[in-house]
Amino acid sequence: MKRLLTPILAGVFALSAAALVAQQDNRRPNDPRDNNPQTYDSMKAAGTYEGTVSQIDQSGSSFVLRDRSGKEVTIHWNSATRVMGSSTQGTTSEPAMSTLKVGDEVTVKTSTEGSNTVATSVEIRPKKS
């Protein structure tokens, strides 16, 4: 009986220790939610928006985009924002973004910087007459 009890107790101890270690180290190194929850929240806000430009604030480097459902989102731009489809294409935001007009249809890819939604690329399609 003693010969049988010792290996069983050793096995139970080993399994308990393994379960305890697994419970403490459940991180997934490639999962951004484990590394920095704020980064993950920022990634959720990043995405692609399509809609119509309803307001432009050149001095604030931002515009308001209204999607098909009527929801509005303020999108900022910076010097790294790529602009396509305008008469002035490029990565210098001020001259290229100056071609943006209220009523233009746009597709915008974004990232998040702090609390701002920032355009990484903007495809401008002039408003339909």
CATH number, position 51: 2.40.50.320
What is this structure's pTM? 0.58
pLDDT tens readout for residues 55-81 = 999 888 899 999 889 999 999 998 888
Whether residue 17 is found in the same domain as residue 78: no
Residues 36 and 72 in one domain: no
**50 and 23, same domain (yes or no):** no
Q: What is the DSSP string of 61-103?
A: TEEEEE-TTS-EEEEE--TT-EEESSSS-BS-HHHHHTT--TT
Report pLDDT digits (tens) over 87-98.
Answer: 555 554 455 777
**Do 8 and 64 fall into the same domain?**
no
Q: What pLDDT score was predicted for residue 21?
A: 64
Domains in the chain: how many in total?
2
Mean pLDDT of 106-112: 92
**Pair 69, 23 in one domain:** no
| Whether residues 61 and 22 fall in one domain | no
Residues 32 and 62 in one domain: no
Based on the domain organization, do 120 and 81 belong to the same domain? yes
Which residues pair with residue 75 across a beta bridge? 63
In this prediction, residue 9 carries a pLDDT of 76
For residue 108, the enclosing domain spans 46-125
What are the pLDDT digits (tens) for 20-51?
666 655 555 555 455 554 444 444 457 899 99
**61 and 101 together in one domain:** yes
